[in-house]
Homo-oligomer: A and B are copies of this chain.
Amino acid sequence: MAVIVQKYGGTSVGNVERIFNVARRISQTVSAGHRVAVVVSAMGHSTDELIALAKSISASPPEREMAMLLATGEQVTIALLAMALQELGCPAVSFTGSQAGVLTDGVPLNARIEQFSALRVREALQAGRVAVVAGFQGADANAEINTLGRGGSDTTAVALAAAIDAEVCEIYTDVDGVFTADPRVVPDARKQQEITYDEMLEMASQGAKVLHPRAVECGKENNVVIHVRSSFHSEPGTLVKEETGMEKGTAISGIAWDEDQAKIAVVGVPDKPGIAALIFGAIAQGGISVDLIVQSIRREGENDILFTVHADDLDKALLILEPLTKAIGAKELYHQRDVAKISVVGAGMVHHSGVAAGMFCALASEEINIEIISTSEIRISCLIEKSRVYDAARAIHRFFKLADDVADLEKSNLAPSFTSRNNQVCRGIQ
């Protein structure tokens, strides 16, 4: 008998029929002898509808009241799911975030979980009941309702698994698991059995939308085994955990991309201390997140500063930068929409040489130009033209033979075999 946390997203509980499907799956897990705590999101588009309602009252609704409003979404789901479970003869009890003991830090719409007592959840499980907990929400020390922001329900589930010492935290989603690349783009992408937290973090941050980075971080901190799996069938998905087994040392665990990037270049910046701080300080004050940053010396006494922002933030960033670039004496402010970032991720990369070269080679074989390169210990990212990102993904996937099984993969990383297309370009790095 194991203690298991299961998390179902808004689509999985989007209507009464789907709520019953979820209830049946939970009920089966209980019948198999396990104790189950469930975390759910708001039904389907209900959060969007509540936001629209608020926006019809105020262009910028007060955040505290927005959290008060949004928290009702999950409260509806937990009540209905607990009803459905009991209708199936499976004892169940629902808890709001506050009742479950999710203590938050008081930031209304983007709270962090400070503590998760889960006292009543444990009591319910011991009494043989399924505990149904509202994701995405908690209450601070003054009983103020907070919501957790993006990835909140995933994070609630992982934090709950840590709090009740669950054997596994199952995240149910509409994909089969974590793939070496998005299977809609790379048809022979391979589902991974296991992946490390760090790899998952890079994959998630780089645009794989399966599991929110925040939940992965929470899993890593608390050593919670996360099982990303499909809500449509019972095949196993991908385990996210500290030590991966048979795939340990694999150079590349996957390819991820983000198509919503925009490039900004501040060209001909006088090479003086504090200029970069000035530029990025102003950008940060505008509430804009910067992703890749590259600074290059152009000619004596002058720099070019290149960076990327989310495409939606480009206009705002330019508004801030136009007067600023003049003030600091830069020569030109240049921007480019329609760029995408593609990344190769792998914990074993650090032990395997040639991954970066292989990636550049794969891109070159498709005649894809690289605008910016950025690397971490387990990731290499390139900014490329947006229209070529799927070609790039397929070329890299093919180059590293990610579709093959593990043994082949290992081999391919060390000695990439060439297809006819990249034969010419990549001979040099064999």
Interface residues of A (CB under 8 A from B): 16, 19-20, 50, 53-54, 56-58, 61-62, 64-66, 68-69, 71-72, 75-76, 78-80, 82-84, 86-87, 93-94, 96, 98-99, 143, 145
Contact = CB atoms under 8 A, between A and B. Distances in A.
A217 B273 CA distance: 75
A80 B57 contact: yes
B53 A16 contact: yes
Given A61-B83, A68-B96, 14 more contacts: A16-B56, A16-B57, A19-B57, A54-B79, A57-B83, A62-B82, A64-B93, A65-B86, A66-B83, A68-B79, A69-B80, A71-B75, A72-B79, A96-B145
A62 B86 contact: yes
A304 B123 CA distance: 55
B57 A99 contact: no
A58 B72 contact: no
Contacts of A66: 79, 83
Contacts of A64: 93
A79 to B, nearest CB: 4
A69 B72 CA distance: 9
Among A58, A76, A79, A80, which residue has the most Cβ atoms of chain B within 10 A? Answer: A79
B58 A87 contact: yes
Q: How many copies does the complex hold?
A: 2
Contacts of A80: 53-54, 57, 65, 69
Contacts of A16: 53, 56-57
A136 to B, nearest CB: 14
A300 B94 CA distance: 61
Given A57-B19, A143-B99, A94 B76 contact: no
Contacts of A61: 83
**Nearest 10 interchain pairs by C-beta:** A69-B79, A72-B72, A68-B79, A58-B87, A65-B79, A65-B82, A57-B83, A61-B83, A65-B83, A72-B75
B83 A58 contact: yes
A107 B69 CA distance: 25
A58 B86 contact: yes
Nearest to A71: B75
A62 to B, nearest CB: 5
A80 B51 CA distance: 10
B57 A68 contact: no
A144 to B, nearest CB: 8
Contact of A143 (B68, B76, B79, B98): B98
A62 B83 contact: yes
A58 B90 CA distance: 13
11 contacts: A54-B79, A58-B83, A58-B87, A65-B80, A65-B83, A68-B82, A69-B75, A69-B83, A72-B72, A72-B79, A98-B143
A305 to B, nearest CB: 41
Contacts of A62: 82-83, 86
Nearest to A98: B143
Among A58, A72, A83, A94, which residue has the most Cβ atoms of chain B within 10 A? Answer: A83
Nearest to A75: B72
A54 B72 contact: no
A318 B100 CA distance: 46
Contacts of A99: 143
